């Protein structure tokens, strides 16, 4: 299979755009927290504040036609894969204009046209299907890659092991992206895994494993690019291990009684992926404020769009059960 050679790193103007995208996701999720606390949003919501570089770095490395499966912490992945903030916010408000037309909610965000096969509220639930989507690409000879996001908590569940085993056995073009934020809900990695380096789990299947700092978006992009090229080139699936940090709680409203507050604060001050990129690009306070104002306006606009959206009729609940 001929593989187009891609650039392995991002130029300065692209990095500016990456900064904007990460900031948009941050401000979007802060707004989601605010509107949930205000009582606007129903359901169960999880934000990924602190993990924006994983979503943006990986999704930017994808090609058109590649597909992803996401997790319960999906807002960032969904925006990074190209869904408009209006459609995402409308979904969180349960409106017909939402990316899942009000049938999904925060944990079931889909945008199939843009390659988002859905966020999953069952930890590890999407992984075997990414193996299957990649199998379809292989059987049809299409130069496409299927990629799954998941957290460290998912590496303990059967679907993870079965999906990786089958993907490696059948050499399908899949990429498995571990966003290792060291917490499975409220349970620290030391209490949920007997090994410290979760890449070992992929290596046990003979799978190529790449490890990267998930707070450095350039590194994430380069690593994802390498993994995608490998998979697309027919050389088999790749495990991408991103070490990242969840600044927020498991869910919005989580009091985080299980976590050392000083440590969390320090991580936020020193390891914020947005601040790290901003410093690298030497963005002035003035320019950053302008960028912030621009993305904040988009987020505010998404709330207006969502509030003005169309409520589904109650009986619409009976549609879409069968094709």
Q: Using the rule CB under 8 A, which residue among 83, 131, 215, 302 binds other proteins?
A: 131
Judged by CB, which is closer to other proteins: 247, or 305? 305
Which residues ranging from 74 to 103 are in contact with other proteins (CB under 8 A)?
98, 100-103
Residue 9 DSSP one-character state: S
Q: Is 115 in the site for other proteins (CB under 8 A)?
A: no
Binder of other proteins out of 49, 61, 92, 134 (CB under 8 A): 134
Out of 128, 151, 153, 309, the only residue in the binding site for other proteins (CB under 8 A) is: 128
- Residue 65 within binding range of other proteins, rule CB under 8 A: no
**Smallest distance from other proteins to CB 126, Å:** 8
* Sign of the torsion formed by the C-alpha atoms of 194, 198, 199 and 204: positive
Would you say 53 or 67 has its CB closer to other proteins?
67
Q: Minimum distance from CB of 106 to other proteins (Å)?
A: 12
Q: Give the whole-angstrom CA distance, residue 16 versus residue 18.
A: 5
DSSP letters, 187-253, are EEHHHH-S-S-THHHHHTTT-EEEEEETT-HHHHHHHHHHHHHHHHTTS--EEEEEE----S-SSTT
The structure tokens listed for 131 are: 């193996």
Nearer to other proteins, 122 or 195 (CB): 122
Question: How many CB atoms within 10 Å of residue 39?
Answer: 7
Nearest approach, Cβ of 303 to other proteins (angstroms)? 21
Q: Any idea which residue has 């992984």 for tokens?
A: 127
Burial of 283 (0-12, 13-18, 19+ CB in 10 A): middle
Q: State the nearest-atom distance from the C-beta of 43 to other proteins, in Å.
A: 13
DSSP helix/strand/coil, 309: coil
Q: What span, in angstroms and rounded, lies between the C-alpha atoms of 244 and 51? A: 6
Burial 159-194 (b: 16+ CB within 10 A, else e): bbbebbebbbeeebbbbbbbbbbbbbeebebeeebe
**Minimum CB distance to other proteins, residue 283 (Å):** 38
Count of residues interacting with other proteins (CB under 8 A) = 45
Convert residues 137-176 into a mask of x (bound to other proteins by CB under 8 A) and - (unbound). x-xx-----x-----------xx--xx-xx--xx------
Assess 2 for contact with other proteins (CB under 8 A).
no
Q: Considering beta carbons, is residue 128 or 273 the nearer one to other proteins?
A: 128
Q: Any residues with CB less than 8 A from the CB of 15 and at least 6 apart, and which?
A: 217, 218, 277, 280, 281
* Residues near other proteins, by CB under 8 A: 67, 98, 100-104, 108, 110-113, 117-118, 120, 122, 125-137, 139-140, 146, 158-159, 162-163, 165-166, 169-170, 319-323
């Amino acid at each position: 299979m001929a593989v187009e050679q891609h650039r392995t790193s991002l130029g300065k103007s692209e990095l500016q755009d990456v900064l904007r995208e990460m900031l948009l996701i941050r401000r979007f999720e802060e707004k989601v927290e605010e509107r949930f606390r205000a009582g606007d949003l129903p359901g169960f919501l999880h934000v990924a504040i602190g993990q924006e570089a994983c979503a943006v770095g990986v999704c930017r490395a994808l090609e058109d036609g590649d597909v992803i499966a996401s997790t319960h912490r999906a807002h960032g992945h969904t925006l990074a894969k190209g869904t408009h903030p209006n459609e995402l916010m409308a979904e969180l408000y349960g409106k017909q204009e939402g990316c899942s037309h009000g049938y999904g909610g925060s944990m079931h965000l889909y945008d199939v046209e843009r390659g988002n096969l859905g966020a999953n509220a069952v930890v590890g639930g999407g992984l075997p299907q990414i193996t299957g989507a990649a199998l379809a690409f292989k059987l049809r000879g299409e130069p496409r890659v299927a990629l799954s996001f998941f957290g460290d908590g998912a590496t303990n569940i059967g679907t993870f092991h079965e999906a990786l085993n089958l993907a490696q056995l059948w050499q399908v073009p899949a990429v498995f992206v571990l966003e290792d934020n060291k917490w499975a809900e409220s349970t620290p990695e030391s209490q949920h895994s007997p090994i410290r380096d979760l890449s070992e789990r992929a290596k046990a299947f003979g799978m190529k494993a790449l490890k990267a700092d998930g707070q450095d978006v350039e590194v994430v992009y380069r690593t994802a690019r390498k993994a995608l090229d490998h998979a697309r080139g027919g050389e088999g699936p790749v495990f991408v291990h991103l070490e990242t940090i969840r600044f927020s709680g498991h869910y919005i409203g989580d009091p985080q009684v299980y976590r050392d507050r000083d440590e969390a604060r320090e991580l936020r001050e020193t390891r914020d992926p947005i601040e790290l990129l901003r410093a690298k690009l030497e963005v002035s306070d003035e320019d950053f404020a302008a960028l912030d104002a621009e993305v904040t306006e988009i987020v505010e606009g998404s709330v207006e769009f969502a509030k003005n959206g169309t409520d589904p009729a109650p009986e619409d609940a009976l549609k879409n059960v069968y094709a």
